[in-house]
Structure 1
Amino acid sequence: MDLGNPKPNREVFDEYGKELVKLCGKLIKVMSINLGLEEEYLENAFGGEDIGACLRVCFYPKCPQPELTLGLSSHSDPGGITLLLSDEHVYGLQVRKSNNWITVKPAPHAFIVNIGDQIQVLSNAIYKSVEHRVIVNSDKERVSLAFFYNPKSDIPIEPAKELVKPNRPALYTAMTFDQYRLFIRLRGPCGKSQVESLKSPR
């Protein structure tokens, strides 16, 4: 790919993005079915075909003292689904399991799929968003492509009524994605505390 000529790159990324939107649409249909909901439930809750999506190319230079910095602080993604195409030879992504950080080793020709906070809210916390961070490498630079599949910005997101039971009340009140993004920007990245702080008191 010729990085000095942006027009062909734009066409490639445009086609790449369209295919990833299709893939995410299939994934949330499977998630809906797994939750016992109608196949189209999560897709419709996101706004149908009128969803939000963006691609971010992340470059992490090598760092002679990687223990002194992070490529990206601990957080969960605020949106719906993140598809990450990561360098399979240079590891950088870590996910939190209990109190430990586990380094993710990407499989060749495969995406890493992260569930975001909006899926956690819609599923009434049956699905959990993934707390993660990025570390840097002392010897090698690293590139990753992160594709974010998000709800339409002005649709209220709340737990699916079918998933609210007497023994499992709604954990979250309705909030649009725009409102949630503003909420977390004012707080900054801080693990999963943003989505956890939205839980309704019982």
Structure 2
Amino acid sequence: MHGRDATEEYGEEVVKLCRRVSKVLSKGLGLDGGRLQAAFGGEGGEGACMRVNFYPRCPQPELTLGVAAHSDPGGMTMLLVDDHVRGLQVRKDGQWITVDPVPDAFIVNVGDQIQVLSNAAYKSVEHRVTVSAAEERLSLAFFYNPRSDVPVAPMAELVAPGRPALYPEMTFDEYRAHIRQRGLSGKAQLQSLQNANNSVAS
């Protein structure tokens, strides 16, 4: 099998996996299994792309990061990493926790669009990547996103009196433009939308 064919087959299989995970997430919200995928644009309407990340050895790793702290702007990320090199860290309760790779397993990161659609029932994962003085690191990040022009807002079933919509409606394209203006800054981009929406509501 040629590299291009293998890449295409990998992408098709990971999209199927993302659809399965989105069904589980939908049911976890008490909704129909296809609800999140429908909000992404329906089967075949979602967006997907893959990025290969290579982190070379760094003689002074304490002076830099491979990737600065951020949450993924899209729906979810399927991350396949070297099973013997640590580097991914997630923020929990204000502390950075290093994720131990599990052989033959994906790391699934919830992204900002699922936080918006779930009205913050699911939180996107703030994470960063450290580098190593001793080892190179390779990862495959597969991003599963809403279609770029589909309006995304908290799903109506999750909004009620006493539980207002925390985020304004915007397309994924509009959200990416919002992020480009601000740069990587933890979860500040999403927080700014929540603050703005609370101001409008009050």
TM-score (norm 2): 0.95
1:39 equivalent to 2:33? Answer yes
Find the residue that maps to 2:142 and give its secondary structure. Answer: strand
- The separation in 1 between residues aligned to 2:123 and 2:57, in whole angstroms, is 32
Deviations 1:85-138 (A, max 9, x none): 011111010000111100000111000000000000000000000000000000
Q: Which residue does 2:160 correspond to in 1?
A: 165
Q: Secondary structure at the match of 2:2?
A: helix
| Separation of aligned partners in 1, 2:6 and 2:162 | 49
Aligned partner letter, 1:91:
R
Out of 6, 31, 44, the position equivalent to 1:12 is 6
Q: CA deviation at 1:166?
A: 1.0
Matches within 5 A, 1:31-70: 31-48=25-42, 49-70=44-65
Taking structure 1 as the reference length, what is the TM-score of the superposition?
0.95
For residues 44-81 of structure 1, the C-alpha deviation after alignment (integer angstroms, 9 at most, x for no partner) is 10001211101100000000100001000000000001
1:155 & 1:197 partners in 2: Cα distance? Answer: 21
Q: Is the 8 A contact 2:59 2:133 kept in 1?
A: yes
Which of 157, 161, 173 matches 1:178? 173
- Contact 2:77/2:141, CA 8 A, preserved across alignment: yes
Q: CA deviation at 1:165?
A: 1.5
| Number of positions where the alignment pairs a residue of Structure 1 with one of Structure 2 | 196
Q: Does 1:192 align with 2:187?
A: yes
Q: Which amino acid aligns with 2:85?
A: V
Query: Where does residue 80 of structure 1 map in the other structure?
Result: 75
Deviation track 1:4-55 (CA, whole Å, cap 9, x = no partner) reads xxx8111101000000000000000111111011111100100012111011
2:85 partner SS: coil
Partner residue of 1:132 out of 116, 127, 138? 127
Residue 164 of structure 1 and its aligned partner are, at CA, apart by 0.5
CA contact (8 A) 2:85 2:101 kept: no
**2:144 alignment partner, one of 130, 146, 149:** 149
- Residue in 2 aligned with 1:91? 86
Gaps of 5+ in 1: 1-6
RMSD: 0.9
- Match status 1:108 vs 2:85: no
- C-alpha distance in 1, partners of 2:172/2:47? 10
Q: Runs in 1 of length 4+ with deviation above 4 angstroms? A: none
Q: SS state of the match for residue 53, structure 1?
A: strand
- Unmatched 5+ stretches in structure 2: none
